[in-house]
Amino acid sequence: MKLIFERGAEGRRLSLLPACDVPEYRPAGERKNAPRLPEVSETEISRHYSELEEQIFGINNGFLPLGSCTMKYNPKVNEQMASLPGFTDIHPLQPEETVQGCRKVIGKTKEWLCEITGMDAMTLQPSAGAHGEFTGLLTIKKYHEQRGDTARTKIIVPDSAHGTNPASAAMAGFTIVNVASTEEGLVDLQALREAVGPDTAGLMLTNPNTLGLFDHNIEEITSIVHEAGGLCYYDGANLNAVIGVVRPGDMGFDVVHLNLHKTFSTPHACGGPGAGPVGCKAFLEDCLPEHVRTYEGNFLVIVRALTYLLMLGGSGLTDVAHNAVLNANYLLSQIADCYEPSCEGAHYMHEFVITMEQMKKENGVTAMDIAKSLMDYGIHPPTMYFPLIVHEALMLEPTETEPKEMLDYVAASMRAIYQKALEDPDYVKSAPRTTRIGRPDEVRAARKPVVKYEFPED
């Protein structure tokens, strides 16, 4: 389809503002050429974006089982509450007495999230999960520094961790120690014991981990780190599996980040804004950084999350974990005769990982091919090639908001794709067929990057 720059005509514009009612003033330093912004009518804008919308897979277009991303349904009441003028039209630097409602939203959300995580203090400033990690790691850094314990420069990260974990640790000035997982996909306790020492600042862990497994050694893990003088950081990416069942604070974690756009139903919005609140135990409260961005974070995202919390209440949150885990295990049970789980006999929680390694060896069909084939069934591909420790990985997280019929449909579709892959691998390898475009050439995109529209006159 056309780009917005390929539409319209010179001089076309909308009628938005009245004429200026004061004498015109032109400051010195005018730009030489006007920015080449589109010159279009409102009709064209409206149609342009309608056409773009048709080429998007939203949460309501079908099943969206992205592992570790928790693509649950985004309740409409959240959107309504976040669009109230009493929130949207408030200047961030208004006097305190005029923003008491905003303060209540912040206060209540912190209170609930502290109870959910078993933490004592919370900051809602971080704007995304990775931003929360950075915030939490700075908290750990400050803690050791305040104690004069300056040799603690290393953060331990399991090899199954999200890429943001080591990246955040590096931004916070730490060096990274990777520890290998056991064959069962859990933290190798022996390797952890060998990794900790007087230079350990902390450990970052997701539990359940990125394989979807709850590490039952969790108390031992956190005590190994604590005994060595380090702190334990909980990456809340997978909290949906255990919310209302077990709290990071009770497992021995000192710092936690949450993803409001995962566990707490705020929308992913094509990649953001999300929110990544950070909680900590009381002894770390003074170490929380005050300014990781301006103001109180992505406030309207926080309004949405609070709305969701108030609707579900304490027991409703436990129901979330129960049904998230149930849905994942049910889906796995319906495809297990075709697809091989990454860990034989493991208890998966809210997500599971399958490996296409065998299939790839036997007839060349890869995880990517299966993922692309799902599109032809109206299903969004799962997370692919992650975690890195599983070859040809596909990671599925159905979430609690999917009905049984959908899980049955997905299972049937995946079984059909599996059969097709055995009978006619080339067919599967050339998927998708029903989408607006076929597989794009990503190598070409990176080799000679075209990252903005090339105007004909350039």
Partner 1 sequence: MGSFIPGTEKEQKEMLAAIGAGSFDDLFTDVPEDVRLKNGLDLPEGLSELEVSRLVRSMAAENKVFDTIFRGAGAYWHYIPSIVREVTTNEKFVTAYTPYQPEISQGVLQSIFEYQTMICELTGMDVSNASVYDGATAAAEAAAMCADRKHTGYYVSATVDPKVIDVIRTYCYGSGTELVIIPEKDGLTDLEALKQTVPDHAAAVLFQQPNYYGLLEPAKELIEAIHEKDAKAVMSVNPTTLGYLETPGELGADIAVGEGQPLGIDMAWGGPYLGFMATGQKLERKLPGRIIGQTEDDQGRRAFVLTLQAREQHIRREKASSNICSNQALCALTAAVYLTAMGPEGLRDVALQCASKAHYFRDRLVEAGLTVKYDGEFFNEFVTVSEIGSEEILRALQENGILGGLPLGDREILWCATEMNTREDMDRAAAIVAGVTGKEVSAK
Q: 368 CB contacts (<8 Å, ≥6 apart)?
A: 384, 385
For the chain, how far is it from start to end, CA to CA, in angstroms?
21
What is the rounded distance in angstroms from the CA atom of residue 74 to the CA atom of residue 140?
A: 33
Q: Measured from the CB atom, is 100 or 358 closer to partner 1?
A: 100
DSSP label at residue 84: -
Q: How far is the CB of 316 from partner 1 (least distance, A)?
A: 4
Q: How far is the CB of 80 from partner 1 (least distance, A)?
A: 7
Q: Measured from the CB atom, is 28 or 282 closer to partner 1?
A: 28
Q: How far is the CB of 193 from partner 1 (least distance, A)?
A: 19
Q: Measured from the CB atom, is 196 or 303 closer to partner 1?
A: 303
Q: How far is the CB of 195 from partner 1 (least distance, A)?
A: 16
What is the rounded distance in angstroms from the CA atom of residue 74 to the CA atom of residue 95?
A: 33
Q: Measured from the CB atom, is 163 or 361 closer to partner 1?
A: 163
Q: What are 257's strand-pairing partners?
A: 235, 278
Contact 126, 273 (CB under 8 A): no
Q: Measured from the CB atom, is 319 or 340 closer to partner 1?
A: 319
String of DSSP letters for 106-129: HHHHHHHHHHHHT-SEEE----SH
Q: How many CA atoms lie within 13 A of 42 on its CB side?
A: 3
Q: 302 CB contacts (<8 Å, ≥6 apart)?
A: 105, 106, 109, 124, 260, 275, 296
What is the rounded distance in angstroms from the CA atom of residue 394 to the CA atom of residue 323?
A: 21
Q: Measured from the CB atom, is 4 or 422 closer to partner 1?
A: 4
Q: Name the nearest CA neighbour of 266 among 127, 398, 135, 405.
A: 127
Q: Measured from the CB atom, is 197 or 316 closer to partner 1?
A: 316
Q: How far is the CB of 181 from partner 1 (least distance, A)?
A: 15
Q: Measured from the CB atom, is 190 or 435 closer to partner 1?
A: 435
Contact 131, 164 (CB under 8 A): no
Identify the helix (H) or strand (E) that includes residue 158: strand 154-158
Q: How far is the CB of 422 from partner 1 (least distance, A)?
A: 23
Q: How far is the CB of 223 from partner 1 (least distance, A)?
A: 12
Contact 360, 392 (CB under 8 A): yes
CA 360 from centre of chain: 29
Q: Measured from the CB atom, is 87 or 427 closer to partner 1?
A: 87
The two tokens of residue 142 are 């400050």
Q: Measured from the CB atom, is 250 or 362 closer to partner 1?
A: 250
Q: How far is the CB of 420 from partner 1 (least distance, A)?
A: 18
What is the rounded distance in angstroms from the CA atom of residue 79 to the CA atom of residue 378?
A: 26
String of DSSP letters for 225-240: HHHTT-EEEEEGGGGG
What is the rounded distance in angstroms from the CA atom of residue 292 to the CA atom of residue 276?
A: 11
Q: How far is the CB of 206 from partner 1 (least distance, A)?
A: 14
Q: How far is the CB of 355 from partner 1 (least distance, A)?
A: 19
